[in-house]
Amino acid sequence: MLSRVADSLYWMSRYIKRTDSVLRLLKVNYASAQDDAAFTWRPVLKIFTYLEEDEISKMEKNTRMVLHYMIIEKDNPNAVATLVTKARENARSVQDNITNELWQTLNEFYHIVRDERLALALQTKDPITTLDMLIARAMLYYGIAESTMFRGEGLNFMNIGKYLERATQSVDILDVKFSDLSYDLDKTAEVTYWKHLLQSISGYALYLKTYRSGFEARNVVELIVFNNNYPLSIIYSVNMLDRYFERLKESSDRANYDKIRFMIGRLRAKLQYSNMHTLSDQGLHKFLIELNHDLTNIGNALNEHYFAYS
């Protein structure tokens, strides 16, 4: 497979995953904003945007303004519209390597986020309806990718992008809230926030079945980091990353392959042989920073050894 094509498939997939995460994060925070008069968008804006302090102060209490900025604003590189546009540009240049159904669903998604009716709906209508519609579009993309894409190198690179991004996003989702709590696991944040968070990332039912003691920060972290059965957990994402990377073995240059396999394997072992006790000892903040660092390094190594073409 052409290096450029592998690169585009990988980023197409990453951008849609990021779109999905941003949308879910907006949904949970929007729900909190409706529940809590003291709610602020500050953590979301700090982690997902490059806004200056005074701009954040201006926006942090204005929900509609934040939604506009995070979904439509062209100057925001992590706005949903920007991400979908990038995903579609990547898809457009590799149409011969993806199915027509996949191209069409991305192309339609692109036309939806560029339609002025979306901006209007975000200003005047119920935002949850809009967010759910957009999330469903991202889900449609994954369903079509999974059920129509031929099994091969291309799908492997797409899945590598997807799971690398998903792990990174799960780290960020924890970071958003805990930066607010100074990364103290024993500080109890309001119960409703955890509830909304779990609902928005499809972890609510699993949480209720796993923990009987109500909503505690510690359990939420355990679910999102260590639960092997939860498809959005960090450990699950890293396991999948490992699985799809291994499938590249045959078509890879051996030395390059081994280098990256080592990095993924090491991260996987780290997660497998940690638990909430070791995490508490190390401190949540440090743990999250390290994870982020490891994931970034894997991304860079892929770039260097698989995608470099110019």
Options 57, 104, 129, 282; binder of another protein; rule CB under 8 A: 104
The answer to whether residue 103 forms part of the interface with another protein (CB under 8 A) is: yes
Check binding of 153 to another protein (CB under 8 A): yes
Count of residues engaged in binding another protein, rule: CB under 8 A: 28
Sequence-distant (≥ 6) Cβ neighbours of residue 5 within 8 angstroms: 94, 97, 154
List all residues 6 or more positions away from 42 whose beta carbon is below 8 Å from its beta carbon: 56, 60, 180
- State which of residues 37, 100, 213, 255 lies at the interface with another protein (CB under 8 A): 100
The DSSP H or E segment spanning 140 is helix 127-148
Residue 30 or 157: the one with the smaller Cβ distance to another protein is: 157
Which of 179, 199, 210, 252 is the binder for another protein (CB under 8 A)? 252
248 belongs to the binding site for another protein (CB under 8 A): yes
- Cα dihedral 179/183/188/191 (nearest 10): 50
Contact 297, 248 (CB under 8 A): no
Cβ pair 90, 110 in contact under 8 A: no
Measured from the CB atom, the residue of 110 and 194 that comes closer to another protein is: 110
Residue 289 touches another protein, criterion: CB under 8 A: no
Find the shortest distance in angstroms from Cβ 77 to another protein: 14
Binding mask 78-97 for another protein (x = CB under 8 A): -----------x--xxxxx-
Element (H, E) at 63: helix 63-71
CA-CA distances (angstroms) from residue 106 to 13, 96, 291, 303?
11, 15, 30, 24
Q: Which of these segments, 43-51, 142-150, 179-187, 250-258, binds another protein (CB under 8 A)?
A: 250-258
Is 282 in contact with 271 (CB distance < 8 Å)?
Answer: no
Chosen residue from 251, 296, 297, 300 binding another protein by CB under 8 A: 251
Question: Kindly report the CA angle at 159 between 157 and 162, in degrees rounded to 5?
Answer: 110
Q: Which is nearer to another protein, 89 or 216 (CB)?
A: 89
Binding range to another protein, per CB under 8 A, among 32-40, 103-111, 123-131, 183-191: 103-111
- Helix axis angle for 153-180 and 284-302, nearest 10°, is 150
Applying CB under 8 A, which of residues 3, 62, 147, 303 lies at the interface with another protein? 3
Task: Find the binder of another protein among 35, 50, 77, 111 (CB under 8 A).
Answer: 111
Q: Minimal distance in Å, beta carbon 74 to another protein?
A: 7
Residue 271 is encoded by which pair of tokens? 């997660």
Nearest distance from C-beta of residue 124 to another protein, angstroms: 25
Q: Is 212 in the site for another protein (CB under 8 A)?
A: no
Q: What is the DSSP letter of 51?
A: -
Query: Cβ 155 to another protein, closest distance in Å?
Result: 13
d(CA 151, CA 286): 38
The site for another protein (CB under 8 A) is made up of 1-6, 74, 89, 92-96, 100, 103-104, 107-108, 111, 153, 248, 251-253, 306-307, 309-310
